[in-house]
Structure 1
Amino acid sequence: MKLFTKLTPVAAILLLSFGATTVQAEEKKDPLSISGFIDMSYYATDTDGGESTHDAGLDQVEINVGYDFGNKLTANVDIEYQNADEGVDLEQAFITYALTDNFSVKAGRFLSYSGWETEEPTGLFQYSGTGYAKYFYGYYQQGVSGLYSGDKFAVAVSVVNDLAGPQSTDSEHPGIETMLALMPTDEITIKGFYSKDGDVELINTWASYSKDALTLAVEYNTAEDSAFEGSDASGYLVMANYAITEKVGLTLRYNDWEIEDESGAMFEDATGITISPSYVVNDNLLMVFEYRMDEVNDVDVNSFAVEALITF
């Protein structure tokens, strides 16, 4: 969903597994494409002064279906299953029409462009997200979005029913999400987002550098009324990923965020350090290991995870 493709072990798997299929599809002019992933994990937490948890099983399965009608019109539908109360869900369903080689418009239910960390595990450098996306990023939305892409920049504007409401149909007071992306070199990407929906106001900015085996990223966010009415939030992350060999990678991440209420009193104060090695078993299977140390409102929480991510 993001405009910038991260050079992660997952991305490498996707490139290898879909590369031959893509060439074959171009030769046969097959308009139908099907892809997806199976995500399963073991996850354990230890909370200072609290209980420990141990969970293992299937986290998520997703099937992505795309169809190219051949006249500048495409359609995409994503179906997902999560091993939680959500069950089977229609994640995305939208059509895209390319008015020119540079400008396209899409309509339906789609994921916000905003945020360095992607919603899906296939776009993450580690097992977990920071946990602050719900305060600073847009989510799945219903509406219309226009995207203009040039050689060194891109601009997008989305008009949606709700910045984070995939089932919202009330369009009387729409939300607006705007994006400016700069790509001055092949290695550097800079993006800024300004989103507003009523009293909710989000600013998300991030920059990344990726060359050879190294990827570096930094993100800074501010938000008003995103946690609750009158809330004021800010947060950031810094991250480094290094591919030690063709099969072994390592990610280090530090994240921090805080939320104040209308009076200025601290409501939530959180920091986290993540260490996440990964191992490419084959073209379709990636193993991700993660050790994470968090401090949330002065309470220490340590967690450990082992993830098996299968892409197809």
Structure 2
Amino acid sequence: MKRTHSKLKPIAASLLLAMGAAGTASAEISDKFTVGGFVDMSWTYADIDGGSSEQSAGIDQVEFNIGYQFDDKLSATVDIEYQDNGTGEEVDLEQAFVSYAVSDQFSIKAGRFLSYTGWETEEPTGLFQYSGTGYAAYFYGGYQQGVSGIYSGDGFAVALSVVNDLGDLEGEARDSEQPGFETMLAIMPTEEITIKGFYSTDSLDGTSEDTTLVNLWASYSTGALTLAAEYNTSENAPAYVFGGAGIDAEASGYLLMGNYAFDSFGLTLRYHDWEIETATGATYEDASGFTISPSITVSDNLLMVFEYRLDEVNDVDSDFIAVEALITF
């Protein structure tokens, strides 16, 4: 599982103190009110061929997940996050939405929420290794503001989200003049197999072009073994991600991953690859990487993750090493 890096500064320390206070108080709160979250910290070392090497250690991310169950149908969720995004420290309202269960099969949520798309989650608690591939911004929907409905049947699920725009993984919305749409079809033919497909579209501001994202993934999980494969395509996503920089492009990417967990030990192997071409057919970015990541469950609340990653981006190789401590509460 996991990701990122930053320095432990006063704001992070104050959040940790607040986390301790919240954790103590949560034991006395009614069963309608829940507080959880995580603290993610790491040491990382990166070495780029022909360039410099650097290392970093500290708090990557701190998050509080607050939930309130009004009744058996209506609930509210708020996620508050601290992280260093590379340009400075930020405290963000990551998610804030209400959910209503119309029936046992159909529910609706409205507010600010994370897209359903993508095999790899945005949070470190949902990863099988330390780092994400790095291609999510080109193919996943990101954080969105709008309304979403999901229907779950016997061995399948369908979802539709109507949002201001598809958002991005920094949580910034473009507030475009036309809404964006995300559709999902999930098939679970057996307890071990899950297959999901997503088609998302949004209009680029001030142009006649649309952003389209296609994300397909499948997983097989039995006992200690989990296998997954993902394939993505997109059009005009880089222009969207880079703030409308005018880079009309097509992108494609995939990953293959395997994880084996036994007792308190786990091992993840992953290969990923993606390519972005401009409208003229020139290669804008060509990247691939291999990751090996063992992990150890120290206790119910502490996971240690170790990672070695070899990347090649536009014919430049780099080595990356990480040691992560992930504390959940």
Superposition TM-score, scaled by structure 2 size: 0.85
1:251 touches 1:276 (CA, 8 Å); kept in 2?
yes
The answer to whether 1:196 aligns with 2:195 is no
Query: Structure 1 segments of 4 or more deviating over 4 A?
Result: none
1:208-255 Cα distance to aligned partner (Å, 9 max, x none): 000000000000000000012420100000000001x31110000000
Could you tell me the percent identity over the aligned residues? 68
1:135-180 Cα distance to aligned partner (Å, 9 max, x none): 0001011000001011200000000111025453736300000000
2:166 touches 2:173 (CA, 8 Å); kept in 1?
no
The SS at the match of 1:122 is helix
1:8-65 Cα distance to aligned partner (Å, 9 max, x none): 89xxxxxxxxxxxxxxx9xx97111111000000011000000001010000000000
The answer to whether 1:279 aligns with 2:279 is no
One-letter code aligned to 1:170 = D
Q: Which residue of 2 aligns with 1:125?
A: 128
- Over 3 Å counting, the alpha-carbon distance change for 1:167 and 1:267 in structure 2 is closer
Q: Which residue of 2 aligns with 1:221?
A: 232
1:57-102 Cα distance to aligned partner (Å, 9 max, x none): 0000000000000151100000011134242110000000111111
Q: Which residue of 1 aligns with 2:249?
A: 231
1:142 touches 1:169 (CA, 8 Å); kept in 2?
no
Q: Which residue of 1 aligns with 2:24?
A: none
One-letter code aligned to 2:306 = F
Q: What is the alpha-carbon distance in structure 1 between the residues aligned to residue 228 and residue 135 of structure 2? A: 16
* 2:177 aligned residue (172, 178, 186): 172
The SS at the match of 1:289 is strand
The answer to whether 1:210 aligns with 2:221 is yes
In the TM superposition, 1:35-50 aligns within 5 A as: 35-50=36-51
Structure 1: stretches of 5+ with no match in the other structure: 1-7, 10-24
Q: Number of residues paired by the alignment? A: 288
* 2:156 aligned residue (146, 153, 157): 153
The SS at the match of 2:138 is helix
Q: What is the alpha-carbon distance in structure 2 between the residues aligned to residue 90 and residue 170 of structure 1? A: 17
In the TM superposition, 1:1-312 aligns within 5 A as: 30-84=31-85, 85-165=88-168, 166-168=171-173, 170=175, 172-198=177-203, 199-228=210-239, 229-243=247-261, 245-312=262-329
Q: What is the alpha-carbon distance in structure 2 between the residues aligned to residue 241 and residue 78 of structure 1? A: 28
One-letter code aligned to 1:214 = L
1:175 touches 1:195 (CA, 8 Å); kept in 2?
yes
Q: What is the alpha-carbon distance in structure 1 between the residues aligned to residue 173 and residue 53 of structure 2? A: 37
One-letter code aligned to 1:58 = I
Deviation at 1:297, TM superposition (A): 0.2
1:177-209 Cα distance to aligned partner (Å, 9 max, x none): 000000111000000000000110000000000
2:97 touches 2:109 (CA, 8 Å); kept in 1?
yes
Q: Which residue of 2 aligns with 1:20?
A: none
One-letter code aligned to 1:233 = A
Of stretches 36-45 and 81-90 in structure 1, the one that deviates more from structure 2 is 81-90
Specify which structure has the bigger relative contact order, considering alpha-carbon pairs within 8 angstroms and separated by 6 or more residues. 1
- Over 3 Å counting, the alpha-carbon distance change for 1:169 and 1:104 in structure 2 is farther
